[in-house]
Amino acid sequence: MRISTSTIYDSNVAALNQQQARLLHTQQQIATGRRILTPADDPAASARALEVSQSDAANTQYADNRNAARHTASLSESVLQSVTRLLQDVHATAINAGNGALSNADRKTLATDLQGRLDELGALANSTDGIGNYLYSGFQGRTQPFVNTAGVMQYQGDDGQRMIQVGASRRMAASDSGADIFMRIKNGNGTFVTQAATANTGSGIASLGLVINPAALLTGNSYQVTFTSATTYDVTNTTTAATVSTGNAYVSGQAISFDGIQFDISGAPLVGDQFTVAPSTNASLFKTVSDLISALNTPIAAGNAASSAQFTSSLNRALNGLDRGLDVVLTVRASLGSRLREIDALQTTGEDLGLQFKQTLSQLQDVDYNQAISDLTRQQTSLQAAQKSFLKVSDLSLFNYI
């Protein structure tokens, strides 16, 4: 085949250009450490890399969010730990106050001590995160949640619970409403509450009681046990004004049951003494403690069985309220604990996931140095060969011999 002289030059230049372009590409890959220099190098992988990098960024973000959640949970946990200790102290004091050897003056001293604990409880409930945001005021971070209005602690916050995105599909509560911790504590046994009337003259004391038939209790009605003599009593449903039973024989400590409710009365009630049974309502921790204080402040008339029985009733109610309050606080602490544990678990998963994303990203867009360097050497050799052979070929001419 006839070859034109310019073809020899043109095709060699084109070949050299192509080889140089390839060499430069490999060199740039090595210099930047990236396999994909522009999306055109591997369009599918570069689009995939963008998506993976978003997943990776979101995953990193969740780790930050988890730290924020852990921070508030730890803060709340340490406050509630103090609350627990405080309630246990108050509980011990209340038990101590039941000691019959104590005088009215001794009880007053205990009351003074408890007043201090009550103020402390208020301060704990109004804890802030250190930069002025209340922990237990729901959504109203800048509103003091618990305010003492005329001796009664009122809740000013709301039921808002802040959630934090701690995983791609997991939102975790980062705060708890103060109402749930300090205000919504059911009195009595949680279903109904028994109480002796203040005008009682006997020494009868009603127990907490228990529910023996939940289905029948759904009435939610209130009842009254009225003693018609020291040994007999009537039961009426005060909600419907219906008589439940009459002329029941009273034995101290023997179970009294009706409509699924069962409790007992011990001691010696007198004619006209009344005991009420009503559905449980919410009593705040503050009210429980302040009721205890006022009970301690009320002197027991010496030798007055009724007065003594009332004190015992109040004390029992306070101890029950403290137990139930402690229960609530411990439940919240348990939930905080499980949240913290879940955060730790999510953290581990998140780190594993992050590692996988990084690996995928690296596989998608990072250069394989072994491959690249061997490519570079090969391309270098072939470029050198092309250059040398071009020199030889272009040197050949008949004119050299004319």
Partner 1 sequence: MSIFAAGVSALNAAQAGLATAAHNIANANTPGFNRQEVLLGARQAQNTGAGFLGQGVDVSTVKRVYDEFLSGQVMQEQGQSNYLTTYYTQIKQLDNMLADSNAGLTPALQEFFSAANGVANTPESQAARQTLLGSAQALVANFQSLNQRLTDINNSVNGQISSSVTTINGYAQQIAALNQNIVRAQATFNGQPPNDLLDQRDQLISQLNQEIKASVIKQSDGSYNVFIGTGQSLVVGDKAFTLRSVQSLSDPAKLEVAYAGSGGTTTRLQQSSLQGGNLGGLMTFRDQSLDAAQNALGRVAMGLAGTFNAQHQLGQDLRGALGGNFFAQPVPVVNNNTANTGSAVIGASVSSYAALTTSDYSLRFNGGTAYTLTRLSDNTVTALNLSTPQTVDGLAISASGTPAVGDSYTIRPSVNGARDIALALTDSAKIAAAAPMRTGEALINAGTGKISAGTVNAPPPVNGNLQALVSIAFTSANTFTVTGAVPPVVGAVSYTAGAPISYNGWTTQISGAPAAGDTFTVSINNNASADNRNALLLAGLQIQNTLEGGTASYQGAYAQLVSQVGNKTREMEVTSLAQAGMLRQTVQAQQSLSGVNLDEEAADLLRYQRAYQAAGKAMQIANTMFDTLLNLGR
| Of the residues 12, 27, 46, 128, which one makes contact with partner 1 according to CB under 8 A | 46
In the bound complex, what is the minimum distance in angstroms from residue 162's beta carbon to partner 1? 5
Q: Which of 282, 283, 285, 265 is nearest to 223 (CA)?
A: 265
In the bound complex, what is the minimum distance in angstroms from residue 187's beta carbon to partner 1? 11
Contact between 276 and partner 1 by CB under 8 A: the answer reads: no
Phi, psi for residue 366 in degrees, rounded to 5: -90, 150
Contact between 4 and partner 1 by CB under 8 A: the answer reads: yes
The residue among 227 and 357 lying less far from partner 1, judged by its C-beta, is: 357
Query: Would you mind telling me the total number of residues written for the chain in this entry?
Result: 402
CA 131 to chain centre: 20
Long-range contacts, stretch 300-305, CB < 8 angstroms, 24+ apart: 300/104, 305/202, 305/203, 305/267, 305/268
The residue among 44 and 105 lying less far from partner 1, judged by its C-beta, is: 44
The residue among 213 and 281 lying less far from partner 1, judged by its C-beta, is: 281
CA-CA-CA-CA dihedral for 143, 149, 152, 155, to nearest 10: -20
Contact between 6 and partner 1 by CB under 8 A: the answer reads: yes
Q: Give the single-character DSSP code of 228.
A: S
In the bound complex, what is the minimum distance in angstroms from residue 133's beta carbon to partner 1? 6
| Of the residues 12, 20, 25, 42, which one makes contact with partner 1 according to CB under 8 A | 42
The residue among 54 and 387 lying less far from partner 1, judged by its C-beta, is: 54
Binding to partner 1, residues 356-385 (CB under 8 A): 365
The residue among 21 and 242 lying less far from partner 1, judged by its C-beta, is: 21
Residue 162 CB neighbour total at 10 angstroms = 16
The residue among 69 and 256 lying less far from partner 1, judged by its C-beta, is: 69
The residue among 94 and 172 lying less far from partner 1, judged by its C-beta, is: 172
Asked if 282 and 185 touch (Cβ cutoff 8 Å), the reply is yes
What is the rounded distance in angstroms from the CA atom of residue 197 to the CA atom of residue 273? 7
Contact between 50 and partner 1 by CB under 8 A: the answer reads: yes
The residue among 285 and 296 lying less far from partner 1, judged by its C-beta, is: 285
Contact between 68 and partner 1 by CB under 8 A: the answer reads: yes
Q: Which of 263, 191, 195 is nearest to 221 (CA)?
A: 191
Residues 6+ positions from 328 with CB-CB distance below 8 Å: 180, 181, 184, 185
Contact between 53 and partner 1 by CB under 8 A: the answer reads: yes
The residue among 40 and 249 lying less far from partner 1, judged by its C-beta, is: 40
* Torsional class of 253: left (φ above 0), alpha (ψ -120 to 50), beta (otherwise): left
Q: Which of 44, 26, 24 is nearest to 35 (CA)?
A: 26
Q: Which of 135, 260, 278 is nearest to 210 (CA)?
A: 260
Structure tokens that stand for 47 in this block: 């689009």
Phi, psi for residue 46 in degrees, rounded to 5: -70, -35
Q: The tokens 């678990």 sit on which residue?
A: 345
Binding to partner 1, residues 170-229 (CB under 8 A): 171, 174-175, 179, 183-184, 218, 220
Query: For partner 1, what does the binding mask look like between residues 118 and 147, x meaning CB under 8 A?
Result: -------------x-x---xxxxxxx----
In the bound complex, what is the minimum distance in angstroms from residue 77's beta carbon to partner 1? 18
In the bound complex, what is the minimum distance in angstroms from residue 104's beta carbon to partner 1? 34
In the bound complex, what is the minimum distance in angstroms from residue 81's beta carbon to partner 1? 22
Q: Which residues pair with 234 in a beta bridge?
A: 226
Binding to partner 1, residues 153-172 (CB under 8 A): 155, 158-165, 168, 171
Please report, as ranges, the residues that interact with partner 1 according to CB under 8 A. 1-7, 10-11, 14, 37-44, 46-51, 53-54, 57-58, 61, 64-65, 68-69, 131, 133, 137-143, 155, 158-165, 168, 171, 174-175, 179, 183-184, 218, 220, 279-282, 365, 397-399, 402
